[in-house]
Amino acid sequence: SAVISQKPSRDICQRGTSLTIQCQVDSQVTMMFWYRQQPGQSLTLIATANQGSEATYESGFVIDKFPISRPNLTFSTLTVSNMSPEDSSIYLCSVESTGGGEQYFGPGTRLTVT
């Protein structure tokens, strides 16, 4: 299994500002995934980030709102832009195991927008 860290662990931000969340993995991985977990809800995939190519966004999520970077095989960032209170959620990054199919998750970033 992979060890995944995220920064920050939590933040309180003002409406209209942006926050960049970092995800670091202890091994090289091809794909990294970003999820959102709204209060009391389950996980929803935002986008898949491959190193060396543009991220692939799911329906309902757009690059202008959630730009993603993937500069190398162990690191990715997700930016939440022009935030509103509806963006208050836990944001999680994950990686897929080689051959196993399961995904391993970071500890999450708890974002509150006021």
Partner 1 sequence: EDQVTQSPEALRLQEGESSSLNCSYTVSGLRGLFWYRQDPGKGPEFLFTLYSAGEEKEKERLKATLTKKESFLHITAPKPEDSATYLCAVRSNTGKLIFGQGTTLQVKP
Residues lying near partner 1 in the complex (CB under 8 A) are found at: 1, 4, 41-45, 58, 92, 94, 100-108, 110
Nearer to partner 1, 22 or 81 (CB): 22
Q: How far is the CB of 89 from partner 1 (least distance, A)?
A: 13
Nearer to partner 1, 11 or 81 (CB): 11
Query: What's the closest the beta carbon of residue 50 comes to partner 1, in angstroms?
Result: 13
Question: Could you tell me the smallest distance in angstroms from the CB atom of residue 61 to partner 1?
Answer: 13
Q: What is the DSSP string of 78-112?
A: EEE-S--GGG-EEEEEEEE-TTT--EEE---EEEE
Distance CA 74, CA 31 (A): 10
CA dist 6 and 90 (Å) reads 11
